[in-house]
Structure 1
Amino acid sequence: MADRASKAVVFYGDGLARFIDPSHTHLHSLASHGCSGFLSLPNAPPSEREDDRIVREVAVLLDSHQAYLNKIEELECWKTSLVQTISDRFMGMRAALITNNSSLKLFGGKLGFTTFQLNELIETSDDTLSGLSLDVVASGLLKLLGFEGGKIMEASRFDLVFVHIGAGEKMNVEKDKAFANDTEYINALLGGILQIAQPGSEVGLRLHLSVVMSYGYVMEADQSNLSILIPKDDKNSNLSKLFPRQSYTMEGENPRNDVRHYCPMLISQWQYAVTRKDMAETFSFKDFEKWGGNLVIPADRFLHEVAFKLWKAPKYGA
């Protein structure tokens, strides 16, 4: 735990986990220096639209799935001030959500996030990721958190900046190419942030960095290739009845009734002198499965862990 409250940047690559390759050196560097693992998700509803999936999975990541269900069902509490904001839930935490998805912007606004598109943040008329200078974007993100010129300013607008990129938002190009471009953009932007937040620097001592990459829409074929279940062969059949349930399938003392055991989100976190270092060397499912120090946790616990690092939650999981 840091001796002062941290600030946090979360990069969320929506549907981009499949497109990570050896050329994405900054992603792999983060994994090799930080602590990595999996975030498990619930199963998708039948015949879910892509736009609904985008909002639902972010809602789970923000532990706001019930608010999302209220929105879908158009309950009165969604239309009024009864929805708990991020500030209400986490000791006054000020949070920004940066996304080009209009549905996600609306949902984030209801949760108390200040929402931006990237072009609004950087004050440019170019609405494509490639049109924004990486140095300008990285500096702009850190400025929102009170870091400028490698120094800590006296005041800041936000404690947390959540950056959503992906899900094929560039519809004027081939979808796989859009995903690949977005993955490269996150890799390059991450490199820009790491360059500023050098270990031991003022920014490096106060910045908590998380990168989350999801698989987006998943198919049945992914169940065997990307499963997080302990293989049956690893269990002693004579002791199978005594084999404990994996903790990500539990909520307190009660089993979670809706857990997807494949295609989890991949997560790597780093803060100088604060986070643990595991033995993972690449940002990949196989490396996280074998060497990841965070193992598997439910995705709805993620924000609580980050809030703890920002001194906005009394303890992890609270």
Structure 2
Amino acid sequence: MADKPSRSLVVYGDGLASFINESHSHLHALASRASCGFLSLPNSPPSESEEARIVREFAELLDASEAYHSMSGEDAAEIECQKKSPMPTISERFMGMRSAVVTNNTTLKSLGDKLGFTTLQLSDIIDNCGPNADSRLDIVASGLLKLLGFQGKTLETSPFDLVFIHIGEGKKDGQKNAEYVNGLVGQIMHLEEQESEISSRLHLSVVLSYGPVSEGEPDLSVICKNENNSDLSLLFPRQSYAVEGRNVRDNLRYHGPMLIAQWQNGVTRKDMAGTFSFKDFKEHSGILTIPADRFIHEVAFKLWKAPKYGA
């Protein structure tokens, strides 16, 4: 644990996990020094649109499925209940945590506004840098760190404690967006290495999802082969990610999880993963699998804004 509260940057590549390959050296370098694992998701509703999936899965990362359902109008009774007792903002839930989300998706902006995030576009953090600044990864990386009070050194106060940047619209332009995420991570790591004070205070998370997946993809299952063997199943107790309190989680999807790598210099407990890949994470990760809706709680803990979740 750090001796001062961290500030957190979350790079979220929506639907990009399947596009990662050997050439994405910066992502693999991050995984080799990070703590890696999976974030499990609920099953997708039948006939879900791509836009709805994008927002629903992002809401899971924020433990805000109620807010998503109220936006989509799926549960009228729940919406009526929320009118009487509205969902608290991110700041109210996590001890005044100041949070921003950078996205060009208008529906995600609406969700962010509903949850009390400051919603930004890339143009808001690279203002006055020219018409092609959004493709200049050094400018984007510096702009994101500036939002967290990192400007060559760590300022005592910062506009935000937590910043999400959302990249990708599912599998649209997937290869191009995967290259962008890889380059952006490389620039962030480069800036961290130049200034040790920033490196010790910045908690970096890279989360990549698969987007729409089918159950018939056994290579993307988080369940070990022996767990499906009826003769050996009793030797494998139900894992903690499948349980909420004393109850088994309903509607849990065991395939196609989000991939996550988290790193903070001098704080992160490195695992044995060496590449940013499903296979390596399954065999060598330290985080293993946690529910996606616990992610925001884990990050808030690093920022001294929430008690520790789990062990």
Q: Structure 1 length normalisation: TM-score?
A: 0.91
CA distance in 1, matches of 2:135, 2:205: 22
Relative to structure 1, the CA distance from residue 127 to residue 16 in structure 2 (aligned partners, 3 Å threshold; closer, same or farther) is farther
Q: Which residue of 1 aligns with 2:5?
A: 5
Matched, 1:97 2:91: no
Matched, 1:212 2:207: yes
Code of the residue aligned with 2:289 in structure 1: it is V
- Render the CA deviation track for 1:221-265: whole Å, top value 9, x for unaligned: 32x12111121377571x534531121110111100110010000
Q: Which residue of 2 aligns with 1:261?
A: 254
Structure 2 portions without partners, runs of 5+: none
- 1:18-57 correspondence to structure 2 within 5 Å: 18-57=18-57
Is the Cα–Cα contact under 8 Å of residues 118 and 127 in structure 1 kept in the other structure? no
- Give the C-alpha shift of residue 298 in structure 1: 0.5
- Render the CA deviation track for 1:285-316: whole Å, top value 9, x for unaligned: 00000001111110011110000000000223
CA distance in 2, matches of 1:167, 1:43: 19
- Give the C-alpha shift of residue 30 in structure 1: 0.5
Matched, 1:115 2:110: no
Relative to structure 1, the CA distance from residue 209 to residue 76 in structure 2 (aligned partners, 3 Å threshold; closer, same or farther) is same
Q: Which runs of 4+ in 1 moved over 6 A?
A: 125-128
Matched, 1:194 2:202: no
CA distance in 2, matches of 1:125, 1:139: 12
- 1:232-311 correspondence to structure 2 within 5 Å: 232=226, 237=231, 240-241=233-234, 243-311=236-304
Relative to structure 1, the CA distance from residue 81 to residue 277 in structure 2 (aligned partners, 3 Å threshold; closer, same or farther) is same
- Render the CA deviation track for 1:131-176: whole Å, top value 9, x for unaligned: 4311111111011000102x011321000000100125xxxxxx65
Matched, 1:82 2:86: yes
Q: Which residue of 1 aligns with 2:139?
A: 136
CA distance in 2, matches of 1:29, 1:213: 15
CA distance in 2, matches of 1:208, 1:31: 14
Q: Structure 2 length normalisation: TM-score?
A: 0.93
CA distance in 1, matches of 2:92, 2:227: 46
Is the Cα–Cα contact under 8 Å of residues 134 and 192 in structure 1 kept in the other structure? yes
Is the Cα–Cα contact under 8 Å of residues 126 and 132 in structure 1 kept in the other structure? no
CA distance in 2, matches of 1:141, 1:188: 14
CA distance in 1, matches of 2:272, 2:156: 37
CA distance in 2, matches of 1:33, 1:155: 28
> What SS does the aligned partner of 1:268 have?
strand
CA distance in 2, matches of 1:166, 1:81: 34
Code of the residue aligned with 1:6 in structure 2: it is S
Deviates more, 1:4-13 or 1:130-139: 130-139
CA distance in 2, matches of 1:242, 1:277: 28
- Render the CA deviation track for 1:3-43: whole Å, top value 9, x for unaligned: 00000000000000000011111100010001100000000
CA distance in 2, matches of 1:124, 1:289: 44
Code of the residue aligned with 1:64 in structure 2: it is A
Q: Give the number of equivalent residue pairs.
A: 307
Taking only aligned residues, the RMSD between alpha carbons, in angstroms, comes to 2.2
CA distance in 2, matches of 1:145, 1:96: 10
Which of 216, 220, 234 is matched with 1:226 structurally? 220
* Percentage of identical aligned residues: 59
Relative to structure 1, the CA distance from residue 79 to residue 261 in structure 2 (aligned partners, 3 Å threshold; closer, same or farther) is same
> What SS does the aligned partner of 1:152 have?
coil
Code of the residue aligned with 2:225 in structure 1: it is P
- Render the CA deviation track for 1:165-195: whole Å, top value 9, x for unaligned: 0125xxxxxx65x111111111111111101
Structure 1 portions without partners, runs of 5+: 169-174
CA distance in 1, matches of 2:103, 2:234: 46
CA distance in 2, matches of 1:315, 1:89: 14
- Give the C-alpha shift of residue 121 in structure 1: 2.0
- Render the CA deviation track for 1:58-77: whole Å, top value 9, x for unaligned: 00011001221122226246
Code of the residue aligned with 2:112 in structure 1: it is G
Is the Cα–Cα contact under 8 Å of residues 301 and 308 in structure 2 kept in the other structure? yes
> What SS does the aligned partner of 2:193 have?
coil
Code of the residue aligned with 1:114 in structure 2: it is T
Code of the residue aligned with 2:49 in structure 1: it is R
